[in-house]
Protein backbone atom coordinates (compact mmCIF):
# COMPACT_ATOMS: atom_id res chain seq x y z
CA UNK A 1 0.00 0.00 0.00
CA UNK A 2 1.52 3.30 -1.11
CA UNK A 3 0.46 6.27 0.99
CA UNK A 4 1.35 9.92 0.53
CA UNK A 5 1.54 11.92 3.75
CA UNK A 6 1.56 15.71 3.82
CA UNK A 7 4.46 16.86 6.02
CA UNK A 8 4.36 20.54 5.02
CA UNK A 9 3.49 21.59 8.62
CA UNK A 10 7.09 20.70 9.55
CA UNK A 11 8.39 23.68 7.57
CA UNK A 12 5.66 26.02 8.77
CA UNK A 13 5.62 25.70 12.55
CA UNK A 14 6.93 23.94 15.65
CA UNK A 15 3.53 24.08 17.33
CA UNK A 16 0.95 21.32 17.79
CA UNK A 17 0.37 20.48 14.13
CA UNK A 18 4.08 19.93 13.51
CA UNK A 19 4.35 17.81 16.67
CA UNK A 20 1.47 15.70 15.40
CA UNK A 21 3.12 15.13 12.01
CA UNK A 22 6.54 14.37 13.48
CA UNK A 23 5.20 11.98 16.10
CA UNK A 24 2.93 10.10 13.72
CA UNK A 25 5.50 9.77 10.92
CA UNK A 26 8.13 8.51 13.37
CA UNK A 27 5.93 5.47 14.07
CA UNK A 28 4.83 4.95 10.46
CA UNK A 29 8.35 4.68 9.05
CA UNK A 30 9.57 1.14 8.55
CA UNK A 31 6.15 -0.54 8.60
CA UNK A 32 6.15 -3.37 6.10
CA UNK A 33 2.53 -2.92 5.09
CA UNK A 34 3.04 0.73 4.10
CA UNK A 35 5.25 2.45 1.53
CA UNK A 36 5.36 6.07 2.66
CA UNK A 37 5.83 9.00 0.33
CA UNK A 38 6.42 12.17 2.37
CA UNK A 39 5.01 15.21 0.55
CA UNK A 40 5.93 18.83 1.12
CA UNK A 41 6.38 22.10 -0.74
CA UNK A 42 8.40 25.27 -0.16
CA UNK A 43 9.88 26.72 2.98
CA UNK A 44 8.82 28.66 6.07
CA UNK A 45 8.42 32.10 4.49
CA UNK A 46 5.19 33.89 3.58
CA UNK A 47 5.65 33.53 -0.23
CA UNK A 48 5.88 29.74 0.13
CA UNK A 49 2.88 29.74 2.43
CA UNK A 50 0.78 31.64 -0.11
CA UNK A 51 1.74 29.27 -2.96
CA UNK A 52 1.06 26.24 -0.76
CA UNK A 53 -2.43 27.44 0.14
CA UNK A 54 -3.34 28.74 -3.32
CA UNK A 55 -1.86 26.04 -5.58
CA UNK A 56 -0.08 23.15 -3.92
CA UNK A 57 -2.83 22.00 -1.57
CA UNK A 58 -5.83 22.41 -3.91
CA UNK A 59 -4.10 21.28 -7.14
CA UNK A 60 -0.57 19.89 -6.64
CA UNK A 61 -1.46 17.29 -4.04
CA UNK A 62 -4.32 16.03 -6.17
CA UNK A 63 -1.92 15.44 -9.07
CA UNK A 64 0.52 13.59 -6.82
CA UNK A 65 -2.31 11.34 -5.65
CA UNK A 66 -2.58 9.71 -9.07
CA UNK A 67 0.15 7.24 -8.15
CA UNK A 68 -0.95 6.63 -4.56
CA UNK A 69 -3.33 4.20 -2.90
CA UNK A 70 -4.22 6.77 -0.20
CA UNK A 71 -3.44 10.46 0.31
CA UNK A 72 -3.33 11.66 3.94
CA UNK A 73 -3.44 15.42 4.49
CA UNK A 74 -2.33 16.23 8.02
CA UNK A 75 -4.16 19.55 8.33
CA UNK A 76 -7.54 20.83 7.19
CA UNK A 77 -6.03 21.75 3.80
CA UNK A 78 -6.25 19.30 0.93
CA UNK A 79 -7.04 18.89 -2.76
CA UNK A 80 -10.42 19.72 -4.23
CA UNK A 81 -10.26 16.46 -6.21
CA UNK A 82 -7.99 13.42 -6.10
CA UNK A 83 -7.96 10.01 -7.79
CA UNK A 84 -6.91 8.27 -4.57
CA UNK A 85 -8.97 8.19 -1.36
CA UNK A 86 -8.22 11.24 0.78
CA UNK A 87 -7.87 11.28 4.57
CA UNK A 88 -7.88 14.66 6.27
CA UNK A 89 -6.76 15.28 9.85
CA UNK A 90 -8.82 17.87 11.73
CA UNK A 91 -7.01 19.32 14.74
CA UNK A 92 -9.77 21.77 15.67
CA UNK A 93 -12.46 24.00 14.21
CA UNK A 94 -11.48 27.12 16.11
CA UNK A 95 -11.50 29.26 12.96
CA UNK A 96 -15.18 28.37 12.47
CA UNK A 97 -16.23 28.44 16.14
CA UNK A 98 -14.36 31.69 16.97
CA UNK A 99 -13.53 33.43 13.67
CA UNK A 100 -12.95 36.74 15.47
CA UNK A 101 -9.87 35.21 17.13
CA UNK A 102 -8.05 34.75 13.80
CA UNK A 103 -6.45 36.94 11.12
CA UNK A 104 -8.49 37.81 8.05
CA UNK A 105 -6.94 35.17 5.72
CA UNK A 106 -7.73 32.36 8.14
CA UNK A 107 -11.27 33.64 8.63
CA UNK A 108 -11.85 33.73 4.89
CA UNK A 109 -10.59 30.17 4.42
CA UNK A 110 -12.70 28.94 7.31
CA UNK A 111 -15.78 30.54 5.80
CA UNK A 112 -15.19 29.57 2.16
CA UNK A 113 -12.99 26.48 1.85
CA UNK A 114 -12.77 24.51 5.07
CA UNK A 115 -16.23 22.97 5.19
CA UNK A 116 -16.16 21.84 1.56
CA UNK A 117 -12.71 20.24 1.92
CA UNK A 118 -13.79 18.40 5.07
CA UNK A 119 -17.01 17.14 3.51
CA UNK A 120 -15.27 15.98 0.33
CA UNK A 121 -12.66 13.86 2.16
CA UNK A 122 -13.23 10.12 2.16
CA UNK A 123 -12.41 10.00 5.88
CA UNK A 124 -11.56 12.56 8.54
CA UNK A 125 -9.27 11.87 11.50
CA UNK A 126 -10.28 13.87 14.58
CA UNK A 127 -7.66 14.18 17.31
CA UNK A 128 -10.32 14.07 20.05
CA UNK A 129 -13.98 13.28 20.59
CA UNK A 130 -14.45 17.01 21.19
CA UNK A 131 -13.15 17.74 17.68
CA UNK A 132 -15.31 14.96 16.21
CA UNK A 133 -18.39 16.62 17.68
CA UNK A 134 -17.28 20.00 16.31
CA UNK A 135 -16.89 18.47 12.84
CA UNK A 136 -20.44 17.18 12.98
CA UNK A 137 -21.94 20.38 14.44
CA UNK A 138 -20.03 23.04 12.52
CA UNK A 139 -19.04 21.39 9.23
CA UNK A 140 -21.83 18.83 8.77
CA UNK A 141 -19.32 16.00 8.33
CA UNK A 142 -21.15 12.65 8.66
CA UNK A 143 -20.22 11.08 11.97
CA UNK A 144 -19.61 7.68 10.36
CA UNK A 145 -16.87 9.22 8.20
CA UNK A 146 -14.89 10.42 11.26
CA UNK A 147 -12.29 8.35 13.09
CA UNK A 148 -11.07 9.61 16.49
CA UNK A 149 -7.31 9.11 16.82
CA UNK A 150 -5.81 10.94 19.83
CA UNK A 151 -2.33 12.40 19.71
CA UNK A 152 0.60 10.85 21.52
CA UNK A 153 3.45 12.35 23.48
CA UNK A 154 7.04 12.58 22.22
CA UNK A 155 9.62 10.48 24.13
CA UNK A 156 11.60 13.54 25.21
CA UNK A 157 8.72 14.45 27.51
CA UNK A 158 9.24 12.01 30.37
CA UNK A 159 9.66 12.03 34.14
CA UNK A 160 13.42 11.52 34.29
CA UNK A 161 15.74 14.28 33.13
CA UNK A 162 16.97 17.77 34.04
CA UNK A 163 14.70 20.19 35.89
CA UNK A 164 14.65 23.95 35.60
CA UNK A 165 15.27 25.77 38.87
CA UNK A 166 12.93 28.23 40.53
CA UNK A 167 9.49 28.42 42.13
CA UNK A 168 7.35 29.07 39.07
CA UNK A 169 4.15 28.10 37.29
CA UNK A 170 4.52 27.36 33.58
CA UNK A 171 2.26 28.19 30.65
CA UNK A 172 3.02 26.94 27.13
CA UNK A 173 1.19 28.80 24.35
CA UNK A 174 1.58 30.85 21.21
CA UNK A 175 0.98 34.52 21.98
CA UNK A 176 -2.48 34.95 20.49
CA UNK A 177 -5.94 35.88 21.83
CA UNK A 178 -7.55 32.44 22.25
CA UNK A 179 -4.74 31.22 24.53
CA UNK A 180 -6.23 33.36 27.33
CA UNK A 181 -2.86 34.61 28.52
CA UNK A 182 -4.15 37.86 30.01
CA UNK A 183 -6.25 35.90 32.50
CA UNK A 184 -3.34 33.51 33.11
CA UNK A 185 -1.16 36.45 34.12
CA UNK A 186 -3.90 37.86 36.37
CA UNK A 187 -4.48 34.45 37.97
CA UNK A 188 -0.78 34.06 38.74
CA UNK A 189 -0.79 37.51 40.36
CA UNK A 190 -3.81 36.58 42.51
CA UNK A 191 -2.21 33.25 43.50
CA UNK A 192 1.08 34.98 44.31
CA UNK A 193 3.24 32.84 42.01
CA UNK A 194 5.79 33.55 39.31
CA UNK A 195 4.47 32.76 35.82
CA UNK A 196 6.77 31.75 32.98
CA UNK A 197 5.28 31.69 29.48
CA UNK A 198 6.92 29.66 26.71
CA UNK A 199 5.87 29.97 23.07
CA UNK A 200 6.27 31.81 19.80
CA UNK A 201 4.94 35.23 18.94
CA UNK A 202 1.53 34.95 17.37
CA UNK A 203 -0.79 37.70 16.26
CA UNK A 204 -3.23 40.14 17.83
CA UNK A 205 -0.59 42.15 19.70
CA UNK A 206 -0.57 39.80 22.70
CA UNK A 207 2.33 40.51 25.06
CA UNK A 208 2.73 39.14 28.58
CA UNK A 209 5.22 39.50 31.43
CA UNK A 210 7.22 36.36 32.10
CA UNK A 211 7.45 35.45 28.42
CA UNK A 212 10.72 33.58 27.76
CA UNK A 213 10.18 32.98 24.04
CA UNK A 214 10.48 29.74 22.11
CA UNK A 215 12.73 27.04 23.55
CA UNK A 216 14.02 23.65 22.43
CA UNK A 217 12.07 20.53 23.35
CA UNK A 218 14.81 19.56 25.81
CA UNK A 219 14.50 22.93 27.55
CA UNK A 220 10.73 22.69 27.52
CA UNK A 221 10.83 19.24 29.13
CA UNK A 222 13.11 20.62 31.86
CA UNK A 223 10.69 23.51 32.43
CA UNK A 224 7.76 21.09 32.72
CA UNK A 225 9.63 18.96 35.27
CA UNK A 226 10.65 21.95 37.39
CA UNK A 227 7.26 23.69 37.43
CA UNK A 228 5.13 23.80 40.57
CA UNK A 229 2.26 23.23 38.15
CA UNK A 230 1.49 23.78 34.47
CA UNK A 231 -1.34 26.16 33.63
CA UNK A 232 -3.13 25.72 30.30
CA UNK A 233 -6.30 27.87 30.38
CA UNK A 234 -6.89 28.14 26.62
CA UNK A 235 -10.40 29.10 25.58
CA UNK A 236 -10.45 26.62 22.71
CA UNK A 237 -8.27 23.73 21.49
CA UNK A 238 -8.89 20.59 19.52
CA UNK A 239 -6.57 18.59 21.78
CA UNK A 240 -4.09 20.54 23.93
CA UNK A 241 -0.71 18.80 23.66
CA UNK A 242 0.90 20.79 26.52
CA UNK A 243 -1.52 19.09 28.93
CA UNK A 244 -0.27 15.66 27.86
CA UNK A 245 3.39 16.69 27.72
CA UNK A 246 3.23 18.23 31.19
CA UNK A 247 1.65 15.12 32.73
CA UNK A 248 4.27 12.91 31.04
CA UNK A 249 6.98 15.04 32.71
CA UNK A 250 5.43 14.71 36.16
CA UNK A 251 3.86 18.15 36.48
CA UNK A 252 0.41 18.73 38.00
CA UNK A 253 -1.87 20.46 35.47
CA UNK A 254 -4.55 23.14 35.63
CA UNK A 255 -6.68 23.43 32.50
CA UNK A 256 -10.04 24.53 31.15
CA UNK A 257 -13.26 22.78 32.03
CA UNK A 258 -15.64 21.79 29.23
CA UNK A 259 -12.99 21.64 26.49
CA UNK A 260 -10.88 19.07 24.66
CA UNK A 261 -8.27 19.53 27.40
CA UNK A 262 -10.68 18.06 29.96
CA UNK A 263 -10.95 14.99 27.72
CA UNK A 264 -7.16 14.76 27.30
CA UNK A 265 -6.56 15.13 31.04
CA UNK A 266 -8.83 12.17 31.71
CA UNK A 267 -9.48 13.08 35.36
CA UNK A 268 -5.80 13.77 36.12
CA UNK A 269 -5.91 17.60 36.17
CA UNK A 270 -7.55 20.44 38.08
CA UNK A 271 -10.33 21.88 35.91
CA UNK A 272 -11.28 25.54 36.05
CA UNK A 273 -13.52 28.10 34.36
CA UNK A 274 -11.12 29.76 31.88
CA UNK A 275 -13.17 32.98 31.87
CA UNK A 276 -12.66 33.58 35.60
CA UNK A 277 -9.18 34.67 36.73
CA UNK A 278 -10.01 34.04 40.38
CA UNK A 279 -11.14 30.49 39.60
CA UNK A 280 -7.91 29.92 37.66
CA UNK A 281 -5.91 31.24 40.62
CA UNK A 282 -7.72 28.87 42.97
CA UNK A 283 -6.94 26.05 40.55
CA UNK A 284 -3.23 26.89 40.69
CA UNK A 285 -3.24 26.73 44.49
CA UNK A 286 -5.21 23.46 44.43
CA UNK A 287 -2.88 21.81 41.91
CA UNK A 288 0.20 22.71 43.96
CA UNK A 289 -1.42 21.37 47.13
CA UNK A 290 -2.55 18.14 45.42
CA UNK A 291 0.76 17.48 43.65
CA UNK A 292 1.37 14.08 45.28
CA UNK A 293 -2.05 12.89 44.07
CA UNK A 294 -2.08 14.49 40.61
CA UNK A 295 1.40 13.53 39.41
CA UNK A 296 0.89 9.72 39.43
CA UNK A 297 -2.55 10.17 37.88
CA UNK A 298 -1.04 12.30 35.13
CA UNK A 299 1.77 9.84 34.44
CA UNK A 300 -0.75 7.01 34.11
CA UNK A 301 -2.92 9.05 31.76
CA UNK A 302 0.03 10.08 29.58
CA UNK A 303 1.08 6.44 29.21
CA UNK A 304 -2.29 5.66 27.60
CA UNK A 305 -1.81 8.07 24.68
CA UNK A 306 1.11 7.09 22.45
CA UNK A 307 2.14 7.72 18.85
CA UNK A 308 2.39 3.96 18.37
CA UNK A 309 -1.33 3.60 19.07
CA UNK A 310 -2.10 6.56 16.84
CA UNK A 311 -0.08 5.04 13.97
CA UNK A 312 -1.85 1.68 14.39
CA UNK A 313 -5.25 3.38 14.11
CA UNK A 314 -4.25 5.45 11.08
CA UNK A 315 -2.83 2.44 9.21
CA UNK A 316 -6.03 0.50 9.92
CA UNK A 317 -8.03 3.36 8.40
CA UNK A 318 -5.78 3.46 5.31
CA UNK A 319 -6.25 -0.28 4.80
CA UNK A 320 -10.04 0.15 4.88
CA UNK A 321 -9.87 2.84 2.19
CA UNK A 322 -7.18 1.41 -0.12
CB distance 47 to 62 below 8 Å: no
Domain count across the chain: 2
Domain presence at residue 6 = yes
CB distance 314 to 24 below 8 Å: yes
> Per-residue pLDDT for 63 more than 90?
no
CB distance 286 to 270 below 8 Å: yes
- Expressed as residue numbers, the domain containing 287 is 168-304
> For residues 123 and 113, what is the distance between their CA atoms, to the nearest angstrom?
17
Which domain CATH number covers 114?
3.40.50.2000
Same-domain pairing of 252 and 196: yes
Same-domain pairing of 8 and 137: yes
Domain presence at residue 141 = yes
Same-domain pairing of 70 and 82: yes
Same-domain pairing of 268 and 310: no
Same-domain pairing of 40 and 58: yes
Same-domain pairing of 114 and 234: no
Q: Which residues are within 8 A (CB) of 284 and not within 5 positions of it... i.e. 6 or more apart?
A: 169, 187, 188, 191, 193, 229, 231, 254
Record the pTM.
0.92
Same-domain pairing of 189 and 145: no
Same-domain pairing of 173 and 143: no
Across the range 274-301, mean pLDDT stands at: 98
> Per-residue pLDDT for 103 more than 70?
no
Same-domain pairing of 122 and 199: no
Digit-coded pLDDT (tens) for 26-45: 999 988 889 999 998 877 77
Same-domain pairing of 314 and 229: no
Digit-coded pLDDT (tens) for 147-189: 999 999 999 999 999 999 999 999 999 888 889 999 999 999 9
Same-domain pairing of 101 and 177: no
Amino acid sequence: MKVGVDIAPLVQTRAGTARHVRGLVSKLRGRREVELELLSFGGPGRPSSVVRDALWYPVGLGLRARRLDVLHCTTFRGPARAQAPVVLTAHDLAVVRYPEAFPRWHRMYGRVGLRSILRSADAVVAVSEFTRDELVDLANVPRERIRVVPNGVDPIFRLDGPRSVGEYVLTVATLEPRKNLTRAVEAARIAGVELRVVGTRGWGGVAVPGWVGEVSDAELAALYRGARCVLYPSLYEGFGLPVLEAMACGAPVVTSRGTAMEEVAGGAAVLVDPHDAEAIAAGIVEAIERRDELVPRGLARASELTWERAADAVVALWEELA
